[in-house]
Structure 1
Amino acid sequence: MIVHKRIGAVLALSFAAAYCVTAGAQENYPSKPIRFIIGFPPGGSNNIVARLIAPKLTEYLGQQVVVDNRGGANTSIATALAAQAKPDGYTILMNAPGHTTNPSLIDNLSYDSIRDFEFITQIGRGSNLLATHPSFPPRSVSELISYSKANPGKVNYGSSGIGTSVHLSAELFQYMTQVKWVHLPYKGGGPGMVALLAGEISLYFGNVPTVIRHVRAGKLNGLATTGLKRSPAAPKLPTVAESGVPGYEVTSWWGLSAPAGTPRPILQRLHKATIRALNEPDVRKLLESLGAEILGTTPEEYAAFIRHEIDKWGKVIKAAGIKRQ
């Protein structure tokens, strides 16, 4: 009996000590640099947003927030790395649309897009812009639908790769309007835009900042943007939804998450710091210049958004017959 009491006392002390260490670590957080994983190579809007937010988090948290670019496989390489990290607040992940499309595009993912993450906040979102070459007859979304139905299989469009928001913008359009186009995937957004400017493809859903300058220069025709609201960077262009395809919405978006099991007090501190950063005038100005709508949602709102997008794109990808990789 005495031995059992002693063992019980030792276990109780061990649990108490472990609790104190854990609680102390949370109170002192952060006490070392934080790794900020991005699923893209340097360059592009995702990298711009991450490197805009990171210095602000460094300032507010008192420790260096280091951007770690791990591009490839539509962000799944970076996402897997974050999912496997220790849930102590020293690894955070920049989420992008691939987080919600990969479950329907890639076989044998090493992570679960919902269960393996704690969602902190959705930073913002931006629209794509449906642009056409000047030689292509349609000048509006309604004309594009009519022309496509009259010429099935003769309209081609480019994308920056299979499963990207550029590709899925076109697939959702076809799904909702019952038209059929020919897909020509390119190795990135740059080659896709070059093909459109050269007239090698009829249309392209590029991100607003990249496409709008060519529209303003008269090199391309802008038909509509893909968000539910008009883009701040192209306010004169209607949305696809208001142009005759109600409910149509595709956005490029950015959000923050951490490995599942990260302590709530740490998540709350990261959320508070990120919201503070999003309210800084210089951050807002740059994000708005990218055509972004700044959000700063609650963790609950962000998690609900992730679940909705996974369900939405699962249906579109299945209907489009896009093969899993």
Structure 2
Amino acid sequence: MTFRPLLCRAVSAMAALLLVAAPPAASAQTAYPDKPLRIMVGASPGGGTDILARLLADKFGAALKQPVVVENRPGASNTIAAELTARAAGDGSTLLLATNTGQAVAPHLLKLKYDPLKDLQPVGLVAVMPNVLVVPSTSPYQNVGELIAAMRARPGSFKYASSGIGSTQHVGGEAFALATGTKAIHVPYRGSSQAHIDIIGGQVEMMFDSTSSAMQQIKAGKLRPLAVAAAKRTPELPEVPTLAEAGVSGADVNTWYGLFVTAGTPRAAVERLNAELAQSLRSADVQERIKALGGEISATSIEAFAEMNRNEFERYGKLVRDTGMRAE
């Protein structure tokens, strides 16, 4: 008659012992990150997005104690890399260094298999770079006025390059044509570095490139900057006027770079990445590198960047409609 109570007490004692002895991993999530990370880049190696991604990969790898690799997937206006990120596991192991090309412009021109506002979780803004109007150093045009005069004299004969359909370079070229009453042929490439080859070679007359991509060729004397498409001059090109100073208004287009992860990534992981991003952007070497590219560091909270991402999506949608841009 006393066997059953004794057995119950023994089982209860054993269960309590197992609970006490259970390792923490059995009752708590593994700390993030617990495996290597990759940063997806929708442009070719050597361009502005690639440069920034590699800067962050070095900082994140040291801080997070995990290998961080940069994976270049150029094409389709940065949306190939974005789609791969959107379809990845929502564990924070796949990051995307995106620009407004893929996040705000291309979705209004291309049929995408993902939703950039729902399938990608904003982490934080990295930097903002003005776009700069460049021509080859061998070009006869020394300023914006001379270029516009030549374009009006030979309508439709000038070509301008971009890093892809729906890129900010594409938007800049169309906005310039709209503002100046000119017309030029759009020639898209798979990244700025490839476009530079044909501009320097004289096959394409001009380009509205981000300073982060164009600065190296400008400093090497291979590209001539005619104007900065921004409200103020950039400290790295103090002698180059803004488009407004050159007599052109309504054509300012910049390029911003932001960090995203797959939607559904745990909030704790997103917060950790935002904190590490802010810490990286405070590093003297990162600040110096971004400044040399003509950019401004713009660290933000998760919420502030998410709001900016939504607003930019709407703003560029209107600009696409106003300029009549199409996916050729």
TM > 0.5 fold call: yes
**Who is 1:103 aligned against?**
107
Q: Does 1:252 align with 2:255?
A: yes
Amino acid at match of 2:131: N
Deviations 1:11-44 (CA, angstroms, capped at 9, x unpaired): xxxxxxxxx9899327x22222233222234332
Whole-Å Cα distance in 1 between the matches of residues 150 and 280 of structure 2? 46
Give the TM-score of the pair, scaled to structure 1. 0.80
Paired residue for 1:89?
92
User: Which residue of 1 is the match for residue 14 of structure 2?
Assistant: none
Cα distance in 2 for partners of 1:60, 1:213 equals 29
Greater gyration radius:
2
Instruction: State how far apart, in whole Å, the 2-side matches of 1:62 and 1:135 are.
Output: 48
Aligned to 2:116: 113
Specify which of 180, 183, 187 is matched with residue 183 of structure 2: 180
C-alpha separation between the residues in 2 aligned to 1:39 and 1:295?
Answer: 21
Whole-angstrom distance in 2 between the partners of 1:270 and 1:162: 30
Give 1:270 deviation, angstroms: 1.0
1:152 aligns to 2:152 (yes or no): no
Question: What residue number does 2:21 align with?
Answer: none
Residue number in structure 1 paired with 2:165? 162
Aligned residues: 304
Percent identical among aligned pairs is 36
For residue 94 of structure 1, report the CA deviation from its aligned partner: 1.2
Segments of structure 2 that go 5 or more residues without pairing to the other structure are: 1-23
Q: Quick one: which of 201, 213, 237 aligns to 1:234?
A: 237
Q: 1:274 to 1:135 in 2, by over 3 A?
A: closer
Residue 73 (structure 1) aligns with: 76
- With over 3 angstroms needed to count, the CA separation of the structure-2 counterparts of 1:179 and 1:312, relative to structure 1, is farther
Alpha carbons 1:145, 1:177 under 8 Å: kept: yes
Residues 38, 177 of structure 1: alpha-carbon distance in 2 compared, 3 angstrom cutoff = same
> Which residue of structure 2 aligns with residue 32 of structure 1?
35
Distance between the aligned counterparts of 2:152 and 2:298, measured in 1?
Answer: 37
- Helix, strand or coil for the counterpart of 2:156? coil
Structure 1 equivalent of residue 18 of structure 2: none
Selected match of 1:268 from 244, 249, 271:
271
Cα 1:194–1:75, aligned 2, differ >3 Å: closer, same or farther? closer
In 2 relative to 1, CA 138–277 (structure 1 residues): closer, same or farther, beyond 3 Å?
Answer: same
User: In angstroms, what is the RMSD of aligned CA positions?
Assistant: 3.1
